[in-house]
Amino acid sequence: MRLRPLVMASAVTAALVVTPASAAPAGRVLGYVANNGGGVSVIDTATNAVSETISDGDGSTPYMAAVAFDGTRGYVTNTVQNTLTIIDTPTNTVDKSVPVGSHPAGVAVAPGGGFVYVTNYGDGTVSVVDTATLTVTATINVGPNADGVVVTKDGKAVYVTHDVPGPSSVSVIDTTANAVVTTIPVGSASTAIAASADGTRMYVVNKGSDSVSAIDVATRTVVGTAAVGFTPHGIALLPNGTRAYVTNSEFDSVSVVDLAAMVETQKIFVGDRPIGVALTPDGASAYVTNYNSNTVSVIDTASNTVSGSIAVGQRPVGIAINFVPPAASKLVAGSAQLQVRLLGFTVRSLDATLTEKHTGAPVAGQQIVFRTVKGNPLCTATTNSSGKATCDANVSLLVGLSTLLQGFTASYAGNNEHGGAAAHGIITLL
């Protein structure tokens, strides 16, 4: 596990990367676990291990996590600090903490990523955060104990649950007016809410009623109810819309719900007090946060069995999973010296330095290939702890003095974590 300090910045800067034609970095599917005891655990779903832990001194009590549609930003609510932490996910560093309302809980990203909606449990409002400026542009009164939140597929409405005892409701916000236009009665103490991939249904977890309500988005009415386990809390849907996975926090299990029939078909036992649940983009695995076990259970959705358990931070609550592209890289080439020998040339001190564009941090242990501008191979070297690669090259006379004096090309192919890059360097005669 790698503990990485968070880098604070005023805004995320877009970065272009020059990628050699031969490079095809695929990126990673990462899970972000908000640990109420502090820090965000980053799970690499390829290995089912925590690859690093993001810590933020200004946000020590994370609650819920969300990831933007393209995977390049993560958003985490901090319930005590009353802030929203923004994470640059390719580098897993923090860009900013944005003040929101009292005791923020849920967070949802609009389609296209232009706005983020944060429910403020303590003051019954929703903060609208503009992701271009990273500022709150509107505060919407919705009612007490605002908790779960989701944006419709067309981005025209936001649905907000209310964790209140007795009969509860879902508030519907018109995103053009930024005002509540209707409320929909559901079960008791509604918490999490999830939208179907086709945008036609919303599914609401009713903690006090031990049930899930299905809402038709077109009519804004409840069209079905499924009984689940004791004190349900979180919900996630398969991409194909056939099943929901619902955590039962007081029954240490996950209910599998057939969404066509709105009936529970199975219970899967996980860790102690499961809260949040998220699925991989392909729907092959569900990841469940276990608040009292300090673990995440991994469920194989083909067999509906637990396939593994991952130790994370203290009191994990929210979880979000998304494809995260490689971080943009920057390669800077230096200058080398050319020495003429009897039967050829020696190019001394070819060098290039590889860093992350977003943070400026050095990228160590990566292979840099040096060539002439015409593609003749010179040498290959690995970046050190400062991100610098250096090597000497013996070159045939056939390459030609004029070619060498045009300089050299340094290139980095890239990998799943860092994108490829290329740069031009200078060669001078000794």
Question: Is the pLDDT score of 1 beyond 60?
Answer: no
C-alpha dist (Å) from residue 20 to 74, 189, 273, 359, 365: 28, 54, 48, 22, 19
Can you tell me the mean pLDDT for 195-215? 97
Specify the range with the lowest mean pLDDT, choosing from 5-19, 133-147, 217-231. Answer: 5-19
Q: Per-residue pLDDT tens for 242-278?
A: 999 999 999 999 999 999 999 999 999 999 999 999 9
Per-residue confidence band for 72, with pLDDT thresholds at 50, 70 and 90: very high
Residue-averaged pLDDT of the chain: 92
Residue 218 has pLDDT above 60, yes or no: yes
Q: Residue 188 corresponds to which tokens in the numbers above?
A: 């008791």
Q: What is the DSSP letter of 7?
A: P
The sign of the torsion formed by the CA atoms of 174, 180, 181, 186 equals: positive
Rg, C-alpha atoms of the chain: 26
- Intrachain domains 28-324 and 329-429 with the same fold: no
CATH entry, 329-429, from 2.60.40, 1.20.120, 1.20.140, 1.10.10: 2.60.40
Q: Residue 157 above 70 pLDDT? A: yes
**String of DSSP letters for 370-420:** EEETT--EEEEEE--TTSEEEEEEEEEGGG-HHHHTT-EEEEE---SSB--
**Cα torsion 132, 138, 139, 142: sign:** negative
Residue 316 has pLDDT above 90, yes or no: yes
Give pTM, 2 decimals. Answer: 0.91
Helix (H, G, I), strand (E, B), or coil: what is residue 307? strand
CATH code matching the domain that covers 28-324, chosen among 3.40.50.20, 3.40.50.1950, 2.130.10.10, 3.10.20.30? 2.130.10.10
pLDDT at 2: 37
Closest C-alpha among 306, 284, 303, 294 to residue 36: 294
Strand partners, 309: 297
Beta strands at 335-340 and 421-429: parallel, antiparallel or unpaired: parallel
Quote the percentage of the chain above a pLDDT of 90.
89
Give per-residue burial for 125-156: e unless 16+ CB within 10 Å, then b: bbbbbebeebebebbbebeebbbbbbbbeeee
**Residue 245: which region, alpha, beta or left (left: phi > 0; alpha: psi -120 to 50)?**
beta
pLDDT at position 57 is 66
Structural domain boundaries in the chain: 28-324, 329-429
Q: How many residues does the chain have?
A: 430
Terminal-to-terminal C-alpha distance of the chain: 47
